[in-house]
Amino acid sequence: MARKKKPEVPEKPKSKDPAAHIEGAGIIERQNITDTLETNYMPYAMSVILSRAIPEIDGFKPSHRKLLYTMYKMGLLSGAKIKSANIVGRTMQLNPHGDAAIYETMVRMTTGNETLLHPFVESKGNFGKAYSRNMAYAAARYTEAKLAPICKELFVDIDKDTVDFVDNYDSTMKEPVLFPTRFPNILCNVNTGIAVGMASNICSFNLREVCDAAMGLIRNPDYDIADSIKAPDFSGGGSIVYDRAAIDAVLNTGRGGIKVRAKYTYDKSGNCIDITEIPPTTTSEAIIDRIIELAKAGKIREISDIRDETDKTGLKITIDLKRSVDYNKLMRRLFKLTPLEDSFPCNFNILVGGSPVVMGVKDILVEWLAFRAECVTRRTFHELTGAKDRLHLLEGLQLILLDIDKAISIIRGTELESDVVPNLMTGFGIDEVQANYVAEIKLRHLNREFILKKLEDLEDLKAAIADMEDILAHKRRIDKIIVSELKEVSETFGIDRRTDIIYDTPDEDEDVREDAAPDYPVRIFFTREGYFKKITPQSLRLSNVQKLKDGDGIVLEKDSTNNASLLFFTDKCSAYKAKVSDFADTKASVLGDYVPAVMGFDPDEKALFAVETTDYSETLIIFYDNGNCAKFPISSYETKQNRRKLVGAYCPDQTPVAVFAVKADEEFVLYSSSDRILIFNSAAILMKSTRTTRGVAVMKQLKGKQLVSAKRLSHCEFKDPSRYRTKTIPARGATVAAQDIGEQLTFAPDASDD
């Protein structure tokens, strides 16, 4: 009987996913986030801190050092400038980053960019300007550069084992770990870096002042560096508003803020202000944009035009003034309202021994002096070793001088070349190094004159060796060398201060507060939904039809001035202070500014009422829904500091219904949900001193009823007002008379505060 064939099983189709053939592919493993951070993130963070963003004691980041060292090896310390593209390409042998990053690093160090107080690269072509964000630098193929003369002080003795060298990223070249700079470059040029979890922002100081301070510390460790270093000195000039506490904080701790102010001149013939120097933290475009913004908002009306007249001669911002404008007072206001006066934040975070440390100026100088002393020591030891080797050779040559003929006969009598050196060693009792030196002397030099000339410096060499050994043995000798080098650098490259020091007076601040904005008449509007508008009389004459949101209504309409103060009361028992000038002039055809957004209200916080005052001399009257009324001076909201938000603006246990600011006692009309009306005079209420007072009961409420609104009597029309008037409080009021039914229909809050 024939056996049945087994049915063929179709082969499973092979997966097209290459990962399907990889062992372990597709397996998901759980890993603690802390392990991931330690394995992946921390090495990256440390690399950014140590190898990219934070400068070291020589004043350079690795990117700066690689670029300058490449230029030094290219021989650009002397000679003509070459194309920047060539420099960038050669630097990529040391710097693994792209050419764009390398070129941007070079741009910042050039004389043309004007970022550094002492630029390291002499440039030709357009390298942009540090004070302008729109003046972009040209491509590397168009510009040329070479090292500036001051770089000589960076590379001096770099080939004399003064610093360590390490392999580059692919181990094909050597590069220095630090530069043996002969002056405290770390403090003489601005340096900014943002690492991971930390940053560095070092301002520049005057080279002469820094060198004087360093020399003072060498002579006396307790030297007060403030006697030499008065304040920072920026490449862009400007003026430092002197604050002794702030300066001391920077000098002692390395942290703090330095207030820098722009410099300007007044051109009487053109009635204009020329700004020629600005703080290092801003740009000319940012200043112009801010002034235009203030002018459009109506906060500055003295300016007729502003333009950027920067050219090859330097920065220049021209502000044209209107007639009879006090330019000094205007500039004081601009200093407060624009980046023409700005604070330079100091954070002297540098790498010391591979660790980031925030240090004051004195500590940085002490650390640099220790670094420079090590460089001098290593240089002296290197020179001493070379001098001893040369002395050793000359001593061997001196023995040859005793019998030149013998040396010649030994060489001539030696059959094999390899035996010349051993035979000389045996014949004169010299070692192999000395014998090799003698054997390499040319035949034309085997005369007495040549040998005597070589031996002339023997005694001087011995004296030099003794001197170098004395230097290594006495730290005071090293200090004297550092002082002499600092004096030389200071005399050669020192420049006068570019940033002046001015002493501000309190009177200026008072003037600015008083004249923070021009004063002119306006009419203000505040709506139930929280919109605010200020409109000039000229604009109102064109149109007085106010645009409002559906269901919205005006609760405050009053003639005021641009310098008046405003109080916005919210449903969170807070009051927000503002100036009318904080809001832009507008028209009746727009909704206006939404107060919660402009004033920075808390989430879900709404504006209920607004009150206007010019001198905080009025009395504030608040009506609550339970029929109480609080009366206290509005001056309780006045503060010496420029605080915007005031908590505890009214009694937190009650709900306000209406708020009024009055010069004198007035009659008010109260409306209850029980269809009752009460007229009373605010003189019947005693003045309280605190704004959180519960007030006095004025209108008694039936159970389940409450006060709905309150108005000034002058804004209401009654056939017989005496029907609702009372002489004693509290009172329930009277029901609405038939002839006053129309008035009952307007129980909404007061629509005017005139």
pLDDT tens digits for range 276-288: 999 999 999 999 9
What average pLDDT does the structure give for the chain? Answer: 87
Residues 716 and 569 in one domain: yes
Give the least confident one: 86-100, 164-178, 703-717. Answer: 703-717
Quote the number of domains for the chain.
Answer: 4
Residues 471 and 538 in one domain: no
Tell me the per-residue pLDDT of 33-61, one tens digit each, with 9 for 90 and over: 888 777 888 887 887 877 778 999 999 99
Q: Return the higher-pLDDT residue of 495 and 738.
A: 495
Pairing label, strands 255-261, 239-241: antiparallel
Of these residues, 142, 266, 531, 671, which one is catalytic? Answer: 142
Longest CA pairwise span in the chain (Å) = 150
pLDDT of residue 642: 63
577: in domain: yes
pLDDT of residue 240: 95
Angle of CA points 211, 54, 147, to nearest 5° = 60
**Nearest alpha-carbon partner for 232 in 194, 191, 271, 269:** 191
**Nearest alpha-carbon partner for 53 in 202, 188, 180, 160:** 202
**Nearest alpha-carbon partner for 196 in 335, 378, 48, 17:** 48
Length of the chain, in residues: 754
Determine the average pLDDT of the residues in 366-390: 95
Q: Is the pLDDT of residue 221 over 90?
A: yes
pLDDT of residue 742: 59
Tell me the per-residue pLDDT of 433-453, one tens digit each, with 9 for 90 and over: 888 888 888 777 767 777 777
Q: Is the pLDDT of residue 751 over 50?
A: no
Q: Is the pLDDT of residue 5 over 70?
A: no
Determine the average pLDDT of the residues in 214-219: 95
**576: which residues sit within 8 A by CB, 6+ positions away?**
567, 568, 570, 595, 599, 601, 607, 644, 645, 646
Residues 333 and 402 in one domain: no
Residues 280 and 370 in one domain: no
Q: Return the higher-pLDDT residue of 735 and 144.
A: 144
Considering 177, 204, 225, which residue would you say is the last residue of a domain? 177
Residues 548 and 691 in one domain: yes
User: Is there a contact between 278 and 318 (Cβ–Cβ < 8 Å)?
Assistant: no
Q: Is the pLDDT of residue 639 over 80?
A: no
pLDDT of residue 373: 96
Residues 637 and 526 in one domain: yes
Model confidence at 96, pLDDT cuts 50, 70, 90, reads confident
Residues 715 and 572 in one domain: yes
pLDDT of residue 505: 53
Q: Give percent of the chain with pLDDT exceeding 70.
A: 92
Backbone angles phi, psi at 504, to 5 degrees: -75, 155
Q: Is the pLDDT of residue 507 over 80?
A: no
For helices 404-413 and 420-428, the axis angle rounded to 10 degrees is 150
Model confidence at 16, pLDDT cuts 50, 70, 90, reads low
Return the half-sphere exposure (C-beta side, CA atoms, 13 A cut-off) of residue 403. Answer: 9
Model confidence at 737, pLDDT cuts 50, 70, 90, reads confident
Q: Give percent of the chain with pLDDT exceeding 90.
A: 50
12: in domain: no
pLDDT of residue 1: 45
**258: which residues sit within 8 A by CB, 6+ positions away?**
203, 231, 232, 240, 246, 247, 250, 343, 344, 346
Residues 430 and 555 in one domain: no
pLDDT of residue 748: 45
pLDDT of residue 7: 54
Q: Is 103 a catalytic residue?
A: no
**Nearest alpha-carbon partner for 224 in 392, 398, 365, 13:** 365
Residues 648 and 609 in one domain: yes
2: in domain: no
Residue 419 DSSP label: G
Backbone angles phi, psi at 643, to 5 degrees: -80, 140
pLDDT of residue 33: 85
Residues 409 and 536 in one domain: no
Q: Return the higher-pLDDT residue of 363 and 437.
A: 363
Tell me the per-residue pLDDT of 667-680, one tens digit each, with 9 for 90 and over: 899 999 888 899 88
- Structural domain boundaries enclosing 455: 366-493
Tell me the per-residue pLDDT of 576-606, one tens digit each, with 9 for 90 and over: 988 888 888 888 888 888 998 888 888 888 9
Determine the average pLDDT of the residues in 620-631: 92
User: Is there a contact between 546 and 528 (Cβ–Cβ < 8 Å)?
Assistant: no
498: in domain: no
Considering 151, 177, 203, which residue would you say is the last residue of a domain? 177
